Amino acid sequence: MVLKVFFPLCCSSADSGILIGRWISEQSSAVVLAVVHFPFIPVQVKQYLGEVQRVTKVSVSVLGSWSNSKQEKEESLSEFLEDLGTIFCHEPWIQISKEGDSKFWSCSTLQKHSKNPQEEEIILVYYDQRKVMLSHLHPPLDTAGQGAEDASKLSAIFDTVARSQVLFMTDRYDEGPVKLTHWQSDGVEASIIVELLKQASVPACMLLTFLLSLVSGICRSRVLKFWPLSFLWSKLSTCEQLGHRLQHLQVISSSKKAQNQNQLMRKANIFVSLLIDVALGILLMSWLYRKNRIGHLADTLIPVADHVAEELQDLLQWLMGAPAGLKMNRALDQVLGRFFLYHIHLWISYIHLLSPFIEMILWYVGLSACLGLTVALCILSDIIALLTFHIYCFYVYGARLYCLKIYGLSSLWRLFRGKKWNVLRQRVDSCSYDLDQLFIGTLLFTILLFLLPTTALYYLVFTLLRLLVVIVQGLIRLLVDLIDSLPLYSLILRLCRSYRLAAGVKFRVLEQQDGKPLRLLMQINPLSYGGVVQMYRLPTYSCYPRDSWASLCKKLFLGELIYPWKHKGDKQN
Amino acid sequence: MAEERLFRSASGVPITLRRRQHSASCRELAVRGPRLQLRSLSAATSAVWLAAYGLFALSENSMVLSAAIFITLIGLIIYLHFVKIDQESLLVIGSLGIQVTSSYASGKESTVFIEMGRVKDVVINEAIHMQKVIYYLCILLQDPEDPQGVSEVVPLFQSSKPRLDCLIEVYKSCQEILEQRKTAPQSN
């Protein structure tokens, strides 16, 4: 099999020494992690490697020798390097030598116990150690389900480099028995800002946890559990969003360290999302409160509500006349129309009663936009729901009336045909009725049938209005969900440090020379933006419609009330 | 060692196949389609601007003209960066894997590397597309549970669509390297 040597780019200019790394025999590949320089004592090197193996659980061993001769090839050095092969017995013993500044290195192996003495081909793959160590390989989605038993070759290599972190902690200024060259040998990388943040995060987390426990204690108190209030809280989407954000804060402020990459990214995504949300909310708030825009908004709210009511009144007058040329039943028409008109009149009176307080209420409610843009959007959605409450009421009245009528009609139609619905057996059975039952039943059936168009028209009009309001609320909810679930930190990471999120690798063939091994450069192939969003999406609390299109149409036809959005807490029907 | 040959694509457009042998177990096969012609670019741009001038003459709104310029620029950028594929190449490295690269006209390269352990075979498939029968080269991926099964089919050279003669050349080159892996494990 072809022998593959993964050589770190940072060691290309290192002085002569021996190569240490991991030998993966099933793939016949050698992953070189560092170069140990002369002078060294073999016993100490073996001790050091044993310690590293114990800590990292990676089977690090001496793989071969590396000679970087600035002048012509030194014969004695090459013999010395071959003799080293007997001290650190490793099968096969890899010898790489570089002459001067030549790009083309010669690579050979010494096999003492080989069955066939033929020369096997060697491929030299260069890799950037820092990038490979920091990156996280995302497996292709179809193999993500299977276990890591047949872990791909590449993930073995990434794993080896990532877990050997402790090997890279010693730099050349350390006074130790072994002198190594690797990506950090010029000085261990660290960032003051990151260290300061780490120190500051512990007390910040504790403070946050304390505050959150206070807030959740208040929320769980008995005062807020009385029936009208609890019903109100469950219906308002603002409270749901606030609860969702509270959960997020609890995730961030928990003192447990993140176990794996996914949890770390999740925490980071939630943190950045909250930060951006609050920043946008404060921006919105500063825009609203400047030039007294809140006052203007409050001033236009009442006229808008009046306008909506007037439009509804016009609509009802139209329905009470001859809408679209249809002929309605005059008496029923007048009854329904007057009933709804009176409702609108009541609604307008209530709104006018509230009008002096609107500005103050709006002013204080607007302050809560500093909790986040999502909260502000939820408040907007709730205000729309409250302002169009009369439309909701009309829809419920119309739907109930229509529903009653449809059930009455279907039951009387069965009577007309001499059948009956058997509740016990849940099926239609034949039944013999008395004459007077049949007579009254047929009479009622006829009445209901001829009154159907009127009721159906009212139902249709109010259902359309209700659907319009639902669509507007749904769009706002979609926007809120988008802001909630977008993994901003992962996207920024993909933009700025694309090697951290790897979908795979790509190879580039470098210049070749006959007689020398094949030279390849292994680079990291970053995950696509769509892949990043799919992988690191934050879960949201609801939003998908409860019914499919077919069942929705059926419900509309039968007059059953529709509640398009399913909430996570609702039990399944 | 590199060689180039001229072929035709399924739609009759001339394409070139370039073969390079980097080492005994590493081969690169690149299919290059025709470049973007100045003729077609100017024709498309003139058509859009004539339509915009026509609308401007009808509506007397100068926003139409700026919108046309904007649309042309954005459309050109999107076409060059996301649609027009200049070259598709296949790099087969025995014992490592197969790398499929598509280079776009704007210079962007999108690469997929498939490890050798996941590759079952490289075959030429025929498909019926509208009224034609076309041949395409594809990589069959191994199903980890079922040794005889195929979990996925990765079609190659989707945008240049070479004809059967070109595909046979590519197929022969790939199979020479893939055969090595069947003989290799016994020697270890």
In a domain, residue B188? The reply is no
CB contact under 8 A, A150 and B113: no
Running DSSP on this structure, what letter comes out for residue A13? G
> Nearest C-alpha of chain B: how many angstroms from A128?
18
End-to-end Cα spacing for chain A? 61
Q: How far apart are CA A55 and CA A32, in angstroms?
A: 18
Task: Give per-10-residue mean pLDDT for chain A (573 aa).
Answer: 87 85 86 85 85 86 83 65 74 82 81 64 89 84 47 79 82 74 79 88 87 84 72 80 86 78 88 92 88 82 85 87 78 87 88 84 84 90 86 89 91 86 86 88 91 88 90 90 91 92 90 85 91 88 70 84 61 43
Same domain, B168 and B102: yes
For residue B187, pLDDT beyond 60: no
Same domain, B122 and B162: yes
Same domain, B109 and B20: yes
* Per-residue H/E/C for A80-147: HHHHHHHHCCCCCEEEEEEECCCCCCEEEEECCCCCCCCCCCEEEEEECHHHHHHCEECCCCCCCCCC
Q: How far apart are CA B168 and CA A82, in angstroms?
A: 47
Same domain, B156 and B100: yes
How many folded domains does chain B comprise? Answer: 2
Domains of chain A by start residue, with CATH: 3-181 (3.40.140), 192-286 (no CATH)
Q: How far apart are CA A463 and CA A394, in angstroms?
A: 9
Q: Which domain holds residue B26?
A: 2-34+89-183
Same domain, B17 and B77: no
Collapse the DSSP code of A50 into the 3-class scheme (helix H, G, I; strand E, B; otherwise coil) and give the result: helix
Assembly ipTM: 0.85
What is the pLDDT at residue A492?
Answer: 94
Same domain, B78 and B94: no
Same domain, B69 and B152: no
Q: What kind and span of H or E run contains A436?
A: helix A435-485
What is the pLDDT at residue B186?
Answer: 44
Query: From the list B99, B112, B115, which residue is nearest A154 (CB)?
Result: B115
Query: From the list A125, A150, A504, which residue is nearest B113 (CB)?
Result: A504
In a domain, residue B170? The reply is yes
For residue B86, pLDDT beyond 70: yes
Strands A565-567 and A542-545: antiparallel
What is the pLDDT at residue A2?
Answer: 83
Q: Which residue has the tokens 């094949």?
A: A518
Q: How far apart are CA B188 and CA B177, in angstroms?
A: 18
Do the Cβ atoms of A413 and A446 come closer than 8 Å? no
Same domain, B52 and B71: yes
Q: Which residue has the tokens 């598709």?
A: B88
In a domain, residue B108? The reply is yes
In a domain, residue B174? The reply is yes
Same domain, B138 and B161: yes
What is the pLDDT at residue A72?
Answer: 56
Query: From the list B26, B115, B152, which residue is nearest A518 (CB)?
Result: B26
What is the pLDDT at residue A553?
Answer: 85
Same domain, B100 and B138: yes
Q: How far apart are CA A73 and CA A98, in angstroms?
A: 9
Running DSSP on this structure, what letter comes out for residue A481? H
Least-confidence region, from A152-161, A480-489, B1-10, B129-138: A152-161
Same domain, B159 and B136: yes
Same domain, B124 and B168: yes
Domain C-terminal end among B47, B82, B117: B82
Q: What is the pLDDT of residues B89-98, one digit of tens each?
A: 999 998 889 9
For residue B112, what are the CA distances in angstroms to A127, A480, A527, A573, B109?
18, 35, 11, 46, 10
Give contacts of A117 with chain B, Cβ < 8 Å.
Answer: none
- The DSSP code sequence of A260-325 is SHHHHHHHHHHHHHHHHHHHHHHHHHHHHHGGGHHHHHHHHHHHHHHHHHHHHHHHHHHHHS-GGG
Collapse the DSSP code of B6 into the 3-class scheme (helix H, G, I; strand E, B; otherwise coil) and give the result: strand
CB contact under 8 A, A118 and B187: yes
CB contact under 8 A, B115 and A143: no
